[in-house]
Structure 1
């Protein structure tokens, strides 16, 4: 690691804080003991790259003054800035129509400027695990509903994963997306069987995965073979539990045609199972009380033989449909796979595509017990992920640690590092309005429930030879690489406040390069500062030489003194060294 190259005078000259470390606190016993840090701007920038939507000079200075744990505690106490609130704010203008483009704009506003950076970054990670999407036809016209779903994730980012599972399960957005909404109990005469979609995905993608896992995330092997976590009978059992739920305000007689209300407010209320006598010839409920329901069977399970037993006929039943659902969710949440499965997925989104089994095991142990006997505490899990030794040290070997930066986070990092703003106070660039072709990713916009990319995706070539996962490479298609490169070209080389080009739309997001412009005659200092902001001090000597020689081909005063700066930024954000985050 390059940790000791800067003198205090050089740090001050570049506009960064140069002072003693914030303290020498020792990490929790769950992690390797070490002085807390960060000890320099490189370490601070690297932490903020993982924990926020991109480091800024001010936040680097604040983190160095506070230390990791004080900064984390501050973030844990910062309330959700709110995505639906942003839409309500814009909707106050009667001349503005609210479509998904405004929801995407609101997401970018929060990623760029919200004080609850860690909460928003965690919500984004959760949104790539507990996936819904505006690509689903029924949700494409519901920006407020999707913003509310995102707020569920943001509000619960530091809550308990059991509560996340329940709120997601009962969200009408998820109900529509994975067809639990109006899912009906069996009716043999009418050839109706419970839909199994949500039952399958809550296990496969949201909680336990397909095979039994050890605490460190490695598969359990019996005679050299993996062991399935569930079978078709289990799927069928959960599918029966997830029946009878619709809009919260629906009487049972309106189960099939009741709507979300004239104002759509029912999108913001948990689904419920309507019950009671509507007409004499209607069933009392569409929830499948009858019949045994095979749930997950594992050591320590409290249900007899893993089976939810038949309920007595309503109204004398001992459990309501909601209670049946909660029992089933408890059954899932207590499965030993949940800790390692969810922990590894979150590590992949924050830190590394290929965390070591030991890293997964340490975080999973915190998931299982936060130190106070609580299982599923996401605040403790996020802290464990970000303060682990494997997260806080730069890899120096070929272990496969690190990850490809997600496209949308490359945009937020660029804008945050360079203090981008615009005169409208709204982020309305065309590629933010209509992403997908130019930027192959936006929040709640994946094509399938499997997210933009599979967590175990292995691209062909060297990664396959080394058996290394590289999820983000799955959207690095030829078309996406070219289109997104063109976007970055515009963002870095042309969209800045000092650009006098007549064609530049001043309503676009424009980078503020003024402080960097002051370093145009000192290319070494310029590259040092950009190295901190974009690469956490990991720019190789070879890359530094290449970029320096290139920008020196331009005059120091060319294009008002901005040319060298803009070209240096462009070279960095387009480089393979930058794209791979370590």
Structure 2
């Protein structure tokens, strides 16, 4: 793998040239990075457009997709987030199934929509909480998931402000236990160390002052009612939180040399006034952080985005340039990502195929590249008259549909490999890069991919999809060498050595009598073609280069 001195090109817009053509390799590179692959029809369509237009289209489409819990039909928005808006008590026997429904929704979105869902995976590994910490209460997990989608492509400062008051975060990093006179510094520390500016850009005194500014925030679940103890005030909706005025520190705080929350130590007369003042202080706190530490924040976030999308060792000049763009755009996420993806640097040969797939990348890439649906027999849970029931498939009103068995398979396979949606391994998230691969994970990646190949070979509609894919990819070629080269180039963006190509051709031809290729008996209508394709794919997934994106 390269070091950052091997990576070339600047942030100026990429202009196709004979040396850097807008070809299938670069189109695959773009879709792999932004969406974990794309079906052949999108790859072919991209050839007739400019890279800039394709990127603009992908972002516009991502922004137009419904947020979790809504469907857009013309100007009408239909709310179907009902499984997560019911009372959500610990004894709820259906809580785990509601949680799985969210997992299924996310996996299906990664397969069918791509860009925003892949970016949400990044943000879930940045603003880490866990469903386990909330007791798998799907209402709170859903709120967190909704926030990730709502701000994924928006303003980063507003994103930080929103995430800090979600029930999931207030629980995970102990914000609910942050009281005046006895501040809990967990969230204040991670706000600066992991969520905004990184280690070395603040002091322990800064942490203490930020923690004081954040005292008193809690979730409605812990509101007391005489004689009933803690109870659930619901159904909770996104953005609901509570300021407990006697738990907030109303004295002045000095944060990075700026005065924040100077209310003279006087507790407001009622909860409404207290909530307004505390929210004003909350916003001011973030304004100070983003004003005083704008360069540190921009550099830290751009470096993390670069590592996620391109390579683990970012060039300093590229990061500095992206940070300039991020600051100039007032921390607009879409602007900085478009700058990277449209750049000469992004499309340089040295930037292609150099990042290691995560376990989820690996599985989603298979589905998207072959245009496979998770399934056709989807049914959806629905809360009806106090009971959790199955709903008849409705692809018109429920376009986020997918097959529960296939989606559960994706969830359990990736979880077994160590990447569980809604449950990163610790507050710092999955480390990524080389940590994805070891003897256990590599062998089981092969096994799970093989299982998928066999599963989809079982169905006639999928078998014929494989055949159609090969015909479209190769212009219905009868040359097995050309077919294999095309398949290798479709799934791997690195030029393969001749000995690998020859071995792959041998695998593809192995189940067919040799003379059939010579006398014209064999073509892509031959009955064994789907099996040949699967055998070839089972070989390709064992190549080290297949693990790269």
* Native 8 Å contact 2:157 2:331 kept in 1: yes
Change in Cα spacing, 1:96 to 1:210, as seen in structure 2 (3 Å) is: closer
The correspondence for 2:430, drawn from 449, 452, 459, is 452
User: After superposition, what is the alpha-carbon deviation per residue over 1:179-231, rounded to whole angstroms, capped at 9, x for unaligned?
Assistant: 11252211xxxxxx2111111111111110002xxxxxxxxxxxxxxxxx122
* Native 8 Å contact 1:245 1:271 kept in 2: yes
The correspondence for 2:506, drawn from 518, 543, 549, is 549
Matched, 1:31 2:12: yes
Q: Which moved more, 1:94-103 or 1:338-347?
A: 94-103
Match of 1:66 in 2: 49
Matched, 1:151 2:119: no
Deviation of 1:312 after TM superposition, in Å, equals 4.3
Deviation of 1:433 after TM superposition, in Å, equals 4.4
User: After superposition, what is the alpha-carbon deviation per residue over 1:425-469, rounded to whole angstroms, capped at 9, x for unaligned?
Assistant: 42323533434553321432212111122xxxxxxxxxxxxxxxx
What SS does structure 2 have at the residue aligned with 1:408? helix
Match of 1:47 in 2: 30
Match of 1:440 in 2: 418
Change in Cα spacing, 1:391 to 1:82, as seen in structure 2 (3 Å) is: same
Matched, 1:358 2:317: yes
The correspondence for 1:487, drawn from 410, 434, 448, is 448
Matched, 1:204 2:187: no
* Structure having the larger proportion of residues in helix: 2
Output the CA distance in 2 between the equivalents of 1:476 and 1:568: 22
Match of 2:334 in 1: 379
User: After superposition, what is the alpha-carbon deviation per residue over 1:218-262, rounded to whole angstroms, capped at 9, x for unaligned?
Assistant: xxxxxxxxxxx12221111111111111235987888x9654424
User: After superposition, what is the alpha-carbon deviation per residue over 1:368-412, rounded to whole angstroms, capped at 9, x for unaligned?
Assistant: 113xxxx20111111012122221112189xxx821111111111
Output the CA distance in 2 between the equivalents of 1:108 and 1:139: 21
Matched, 1:527 2:484: yes
Change in Cα spacing, 1:110 to 1:32, as seen in structure 2 (3 Å) is: closer
- Higher RCO structure (Cα 8 Å, ≥6 apart): 2
* Native 8 Å contact 2:214 2:282 kept in 1: yes
Output the CA distance in 2 between the equivalents of 1:30 and 1:477: 34
Deviation of 1:423 after TM superposition, in Å, equals 2.8
Output the CA distance in 1 between the equivalents of 2:456 and 2:82: 26
Deviation of 1:563 after TM superposition, in Å, equals 2.3
Deviation of 1:531 after TM superposition, in Å, equals 3.0
Match of 1:395 in 2: 350
Matched, 1:571 2:539: yes
Output the CA distance in 2 between the equivalents of 1:568 and 1:343: 39
Aligned CA RMSD, in angstroms, stands at 3.4
* Native 8 Å contact 1:498 1:513 kept in 2: no
Q: Which moved more, 1:361-370 or 1:337-346?
A: 361-370
* Native 8 Å contact 1:135 1:447 kept in 2: no
Output the CA distance in 2 between the equivalents of 1:396 and 1:385: 12
Match of 1:460 in 2: none
Match of 2:233 in 1: 261
Output the CA distance in 2 between the equivalents of 1:196 and 1:80: 37
What SS does structure 2 have at the residue aligned with 1:513? helix
How many pairs were matched up? 474
* Native 8 Å contact 1:103 1:144 kept in 2: no
Change in Cα spacing, 1:194 to 1:386, as seen in structure 2 (3 Å) is: same
Output the CA distance in 1 between the equivalents of 2:36 and 2:202: 37
Output the CA distance in 1 between the equivalents of 2:168 and 2:21: 41
Q: Give 5+ residue unaligned stretches, structure 2.
A: 1-9, 72-78, 87-92, 379-401, 514-521
User: After superposition, what is the alpha-carbon deviation per residue over 1:471-523, rounded to whole angstroms, capped at 9, x for unaligned?
Assistant: 3322424333333321112123x1224568xxxxx9xx989312245569532
Q: How does 1:161-200 map to 2 (within 5 A)?
A: 161-186=156-181, 193-200=182-189
Match of 1:133 in 2: 130
Match of 1:26 in 2: none
Deviation of 1:106 after TM superposition, in Å, equals 0.8
Change in Cα spacing, 1:90 to 1:476, as seen in structure 2 (3 Å) is: farther
Match of 1:273 in 2: 243
Deviation of 1:555 after TM superposition, in Å, equals 1.5
* Native 8 Å contact 1:205 1:450 kept in 2: yes
What SS does structure 1 have at the residue aligned with 2:484? helix
Match of 1:16 in 2: none
* Native 8 Å contact 1:551 1:564 kept in 2: yes
What SS does structure 1 have at the residue aligned with 2:284? helix
Output the CA distance in 1 between the equivalents of 2:189 and 2:527: 58
Match of 1:82 in 2: 67
Deviation of 1:112 after TM superposition, in Å, equals 0.9
What SS does structure 2 have at the residue aligned with 1:450? coil
Output the CA distance in 1 between the equivalents of 2:23 and 2:100: 39
The correspondence for 2:216, drawn from 236, 239, 244, is 244
Match of 2:121 in 1: 124
Output the CA distance in 2 between the equivalents of 1:83 and 1:478: 37
Q: Which moved more, 1:64-73 or 1:413-422?
A: 64-73
Q: TM-score, normalised by structure 2?
A: 0.77
User: After superposition, what is the alpha-carbon deviation per residue over 1:550-575, rounded to whole angstroms, capped at 9, x for unaligned?
Assistant: 32222277973222211211222231
What SS does structure 2 have at the residue aligned with 1:320? helix
* Native 8 Å contact 1:38 1:63 kept in 2: no
Matched, 1:314 2:313: no
Q: TM-score, normalised by structure 1?
A: 0.73
Change in Cα spacing, 1:34 to 1:475, as seen in structure 2 (3 Å) is: closer
Match of 1:404 in 2: 356
Matched, 1:293 2:253: yes
Deviation of 1:147 after TM superposition, in Å, equals 3.0
